[in-house]
Amino acid sequence: MKRFLSLFVSVFAMFIVVTTAYAQKTTTPGCQNLPSESQLRQLLIQAQDVNKPIGGLFDGKRMWAAVVNRDGVVCAFNTSTGDATQVWPGSQAIAKSKAYTANAFSLDDLPLSTARLYTFTQPGHSLASLGQSNLFNPQFLAPPSGQDGGEGSIAGGLIFFGGGVPLYRNGKIIGALGVSGDTACADHEIAKRVRDLANLNPPGGALADDIVYSGPDAPSVFAHPVCLNTYRNGTKIGSEAPATYPFVSPVAP
């Protein structure tokens, strides 16, 4: 009897710990109006079939996504695949950093996707050193099995290419989404589709902070380079130019 009672107490204690952790995980302040882990996967899958093609290497089918609240706290993250090892492992940190960045530099009346920060942050431009101001904390990475991973924490990190978009409800910014796992251009395409499917667009609409390309579009301080196999809203834009090398005259023997 005592053994049974001891076992019962142990199981009950474990139940309390698990349910308490679950309650804490699901009640992180500022996360209640943002997509959950399961919703993120469903949105990523749905986004693959909206206004195709997506372009890039995988047509946006191998993605990490992360959501942060207005404080920059990680609320949820997930992959578009059931097997997270089939998405680039490095993309988890990039997705979380993109979410943090889009939230950090957007306001109620100024949505600023990470794609639009590209030119400002290049050498010789006004925000060239911005990337060193808040580095990503690798402590907040989850293994493929998904435990931990920084939920309820600020992972930080700043990324200045396509894939991060701020999220809005009733005209107010409530956080941001980061997507990574393909080219930066395909990442942006999936991110804006996920935001639109979740009804979390900025006041100016789904394309208020859409990607602007250097070359195909008019010159802009918000310009972003064209990637491999680039599409925007289902229309082919072009492809990244191959590397060129300066001609070197052969040296006479």
Structural domain includes residue 246: no
For the stretch 130-152, pLDDT in tens is 888 888 989 889 887 666 778 88
C-alpha–C-alpha distance, residues 84 and 137, integer Å: 20
Structural domain includes residue 6: no
Structural domain includes residue 99: yes
Whole-number pLDDT of residue 131: 83
Domain count of the fold of the chain: 1
Cβ-count burial of 63 within 10 angstroms (0-12 exposed, 13-18 middle, 19+ buried)? buried
The CATH number of whichever domain residue 114 belongs to comes to 3.30.450.150
Domain holding 199, by residue range, is 31-238
Q: Assess contact for 43 and 162: CB atoms under 8 A.
A: no
pTM equals: 0.84
For the stretch 11-35, pLDDT in tens is 444 443 333 344 444 568 899 999 9
